[in-house]
Copies of this chain bind each other. A is one copy, B any other.
Amino acid sequence: MVMNRKCIIRLSRYKNALKRLKALGFVKVFSGNLADAAGVTSSQVRKDFSLFGITGNRRGGYKVDELITKIREILGKNELQKVVIIGVGNIGKALLHYKGFEAGGIKVIAGFDIDSAKYANTSEVPIYPLEDFRDFVQQHEVKIGILAVPDVAAHHVSEIMISAGIKGILNFAPIQLRTADDVVISNINLEVELENLIYFVNAQGKTEHKDA
Contact = CB atoms under 8 A, between A and B. Distances in A.
A170 B194 CA distance: 7
A181 to B, nearest CB: 9
A93 B92 CA distance: 12
A205 B183 CA distance: 11
Nearest to A96: B90
B8 A191 contact: no
A41 to B, nearest CB: 13
A12 B195 contact: yes
A3 B199 CA distance: 9
Given A100-B190, A210-B3, A168 B12 contact: no
A176 B19 CA distance: 14
B2 A194 contact: no
Interface class of chain A by DSSP: mixed
A107 to B, nearest CB: 11
A66 interface: no
Which of the listed residues A144, A201, A204 has the most CB atoms from chain B within 10 Å of its own CB?
A201
A167 B174 CA distance: 25
A5 B196 contact: yes
A138 interface: no
B201 A167 contact: yes
Contacts of A120: none
The listed residue with most B CB atoms (<10 A of its CB), out of A143, A144, A151, A200, is A200
Given A104-B195, A174-B100, A200 B184 contact: yes
Interface in A137-180: 143-144, 146, 151-152, 167-170, 174-176, 178
B144 A198 contact: yes
Contact of A192 (B12, B94, B193): B12
B76 A199 contact: yes
Contacts of A176: 13, 37-39
Contact of A91 (B94, B103, B197): B94
**Shortest 5 CB-CB contacts between residues of A and residues of B:** A94-B94, A39-B176, A168-B197, A168-B201, A90-B94
